[in-house]
Structure 1
Amino acid sequence: MAQASNGCDVELGLAQKNGVHVADDKTSSFVYQPLAPPQEPYLSLEDIMELHGQTRIDGANIERSLGLTEAEAARRLQLYGRNVLTPPARTPEWQRFLLQFTNVFLLLLNGCAVLSIVAYVITADIINLYLAIVLLVVVCFTAFIQFHEEGKALAVIDSFAKMLAAECIVIRQGEEKKITTDLLVPGDLVKVQNGDRVPADLVLLLCRGLKAECSSLTGESEPVSCTHKTSAKSTPFLNAKRCFQHIAVLRWHGPWCGV
């Protein structure tokens, strides 16, 4: 097994999307067909080699695999786009605050406040005015609390983007190359070292004693043991030991490789 510069073994994986790349005999290229779940975790190494022929996986010695060519990687980058989370269009903060007042409960309270003001104008009873003021204060306070809690939820979503690995090592044209994770494409051979974050969904091709911390994904407090062995088709996708989600953090005791 290859040794990292710090004396630790390293591991490789095959980058994948939530779909399958089917070979097109007419164009000698891959056609992306969405699947749920992806089928790679349930395939043998030979089937994966056939499915990802242009990755040029060496079944006899995974570490000597050639990986994609730069031209093919560029083509796939153009076809699939960058490996990033696309953020949804954000509503301006002032508009998001005003939208809190469209809550049905708050609309009812506003209606009651208006009726209290009308009653005060008609009867000149100061109690109705006080009631209207109290209702409006409750409406504003509730809207502010909802706005604040919604902001905290959005901050949690934003934090997921910060958990992604900034760079990763891929094998292309038989050579290791460090790239930013947004340039990773389906079919790339990915090499990960101890403590690295997994940069994308990967299917393991080679590993020994690998454990991954998946608490942010599954809630499991203990590191999960992983294997490159084929998962049974009855195994749920999130429990398939050959597949990593991109936010899992590695804890390992041996070499691995994935695609």
Structure 2
Amino acid sequence: MSLDELSKKYNVDLSRGLSNARAAEILARDGLNALTPPPTTPEWVKFCRQLFGGFSILLWIGAILCFLAYSIQAATEDEPVNDNLYLGVVLAAVVIITGCFSYYQEAKSSRIMDSFKNMVPQVCTA
């Protein structure tokens, strides 16, 4: 494509560039000449994914079943054995501790990736 065809296609004067009106029109239509960041996931959603995603949901189900078994024992026996209660507490504690640790690791890696993004210029120039 020749320069004349290009200037006609984009309505540009090769010696003076865009007129102020045309530049304002393009700015209103296309926005600023900058990279737009992708939408981010809220931190509480990331935390909940760590607590309730993958294998953690199986551990939560196991803890709930242990609490349910203990409550059935407590309702039917005078002195129920506390094994199911202890197991449910331990399972819940394991899920919470590993979820917090996983969230911390993910947040730490996200901060490192954000620091890499800050090294790249956000404005494009030709």
TM-score (norm 2): 0.67
Letter in 1 for 2:81: D
Q: Give the match for residue 164 of structure 1.
A: 121
> Residues 73 and 112 (structure 1 numbering): CA distance in 2 closer, same or farther, change over 3 Å?
same
Displacement after TM superposition at 1:130 (Å): 2.5
Alignment of 1:150-189 (within 5 A): 150-155=106-111, 156-157=113-114, 159-160=116-117, 163-164=120-121
1:151-230 correspondence to structure 2 within 5 Å: 151-155=107-111, 156-157=113-114, 159-160=116-117, 163-164=120-121, 199-200=123-124
Q: Identity percentage over the alignment?
A: 30
State the match for 1:51 in structure 2.
6
How much has 1:94 moved relative to structure 2?
3.5
Does 2:84 correspond to 1:133?
no
Taking a change above 3 Å as real, the CA distance of residues 159 and 86 of structure 1, as seen in their structure-2 partners, is: same
Matched, 1:81 2:81: no
Q: How many residues align?
A: 115
Q: Structure 2: any 5+ residue segments left out of the alignment?
A: 75-79
Q: Which residue of 1 aligns with 2:53?
A: 103
144-153 or 68-77, larger mean C-alpha shift = 144-153
Which of the two has higher C-alpha Rg? 2
Write the distance in 2 (CA, Å) between the matches of 1:95 and 1:126.
34
Structure with bigger strand share is 1
Over the residues paired in the alignment, what is the CA RMSD in angstroms?
A: 2.9
Distance 1:140 1:159, change over 3 A: same
Give the structure 2 partner of residue 67 of structure 1.
17
Give the number of the structure whose residues are more often helix, by fraction.
2
In 2, the alpha carbon distance for the partners of 1:153 and 1:72 equals: 44
- Unmatched tracts of structure 1, length 5 or more: 1-46, 58-64, 166-198, 203-258
